[in-house]
């Protein structure tokens, strides 16, 4: 499966904001808490666009207004009296608490000249500050279960790769992979950015699964559940051997449940996914 994931990752453009783990974190926060905090709606492509705004010597020398508004609201929500014409000054002060090197760099170069990784790290920090310094917000989310507040992976494969799936308000899709024990985000990759890449990734996954395993899994799901006899259990244990496709089958079933919604959203013909999945 590692080869399939690598092939899927190769299809996605590198060096864009979506390839950074913090992009998914910020998008998850905006999707879950944006309406509660009255934050501007920024679909995935739009957020990528404003984060990649050209530097002063190439563009018009201004930070996109959507990005300015997002920073203003996040800073104001934690009690900062920020004005639109001095928002970068306030951001530098906040950055000094987070990363003094970046604060110095921003003071010398300006926000537009900062790297995408730095911009996303600052946005993530401002989002995290809401949980500590936004008292109204804090009182509301304190009633939530901590596990439900985190975006969970939709599955894992036999190589230990975790798969993450996001869908924004405009039905733009993103899918990511990450090694299970990754501590620094170095293995994080965006492998899906549109519905065509989603179909290609599913095809790669399907190619790794034993067709017999898929058929047996489908039959088991549709058959009446009966308690096996002791003899049947012993026979089953003797016959069972590690199957390479098992984890892939579990992962693929998670993809399948997502597609029940996705192919309506994307207006993709059901027959196309029938041909792709082969076990509907």
> According to the per-residue pLDDT averaged within each range, which of 89-98, 137-146, 203-212 is highest?
89-98
> Which pLDDT score, from 0 to 100, does residue 57 have?
55
CA dihedral over 262, 268, 270, 276, signed as positive or negative: negative
Mean pLDDT of 246-274: 46
Q: Facing residues of 165 across strands?
A: 175
Over residues 210-231, the pLDDT tens digits come to 565 556 655 655 655 555 555 5
Question: Above 50 in pLDDT, residue 262?
Answer: no
Segment 178-195 shows an average pLDDT of: 85
Cα-flanking dihedrals φ and ψ of residue 43, to 5°? -60, 160
Which residue's structure tokens are 């899927």?
8
For residues 196 and 198, give the distance between their C-alpha atoms in angstroms, rounded to a whole number: 5
More confident call, 219 vs 273: 219
- Looking at 28-160, which runs of residues are DSSP E strands? 155-156
Comparing 39-43, 194-198, 214-218, the range with the smallest average pLDDT is 214-218
- Tens of pLDDT, residue by residue over 133-152, are 999 999 998 888 777 777 78
Q: Please determine, for residue 263, whether its predicted confidence score (pLDDT) is greater than 90.
A: no
What does the domain layout of the chain look like in residue ranges? 14-149, 155-220+242-277
Task: Report the alpha-carbon distance of residue 258 to residue 180 in Å, rounded.
Answer: 22
Position of tokens 């530097």?
55
Predicted structure pTM score: 0.73
For 63, the 3-state DSSP assignment is: coil
Instruction: Count CB atoms within 10 A of the CB of residue 28.
Output: 16
Angle at 6 between CA 4 and CA 12, to 5 degrees: 110
Instruction: Show the tokens assigned to 9.
Output: 């990752």
């Amino acid at each position: 499966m590692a080869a399939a994931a690598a092939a899927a990752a190769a299809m996605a453009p590198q060096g864009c904001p979506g390839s950074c783990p913090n992009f998914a974190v910020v998008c998850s926060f905006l999707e879950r808490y944006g309406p509660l905090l009255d934050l501007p709606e920024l679909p995935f492509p739009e957020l990528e666009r404003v984060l990649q705004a050209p530097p002063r010597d190439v563009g018009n020398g201004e930070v996109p207004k959507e990005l300015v508004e997002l920073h203003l609201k996040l800073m104001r929500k934690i009690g900062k009296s920020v004005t639109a014409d001095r928002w970068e000054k306030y951001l530098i002060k906040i950055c000094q608490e987070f990363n003094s090197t970046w604060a110095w760099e921003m003071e010398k170069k300006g926000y537009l000249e900062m790297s995408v990784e730095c911009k996303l790290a600052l946005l993530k920090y401002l989002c995290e500050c809401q949980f500590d310094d936004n008292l109204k917000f804090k009182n509301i989310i304190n009633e939530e279960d901590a596990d439900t507040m985190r975006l969970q992976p939709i599955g894992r494969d036999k190589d230990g790769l975790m798969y993450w799936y996001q869908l924004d308000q405009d039905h733009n899709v993103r899918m990511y992979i990450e090694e299970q024990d990754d501590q620094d985000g170095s293995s994080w990759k965006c492998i899906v950015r549109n519905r065509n890449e989603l179909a290609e990734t599913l095809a790669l996954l399907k190619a790794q699964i034993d067709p017999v395993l898929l058929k047996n899994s489908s039959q088991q799901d549709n058959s009446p559940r009966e308690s096996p006899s002791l003899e049947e259990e012993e026979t089953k244990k003797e016959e069972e051997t590690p199957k390479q496709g098992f984890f892939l089958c579990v992962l693929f079933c998670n993809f399948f449940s997502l597609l029940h919604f996705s192919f309506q959203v994307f207006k993709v013909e059901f027959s196309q996914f029938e041909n792709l999945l082969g076990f509907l």
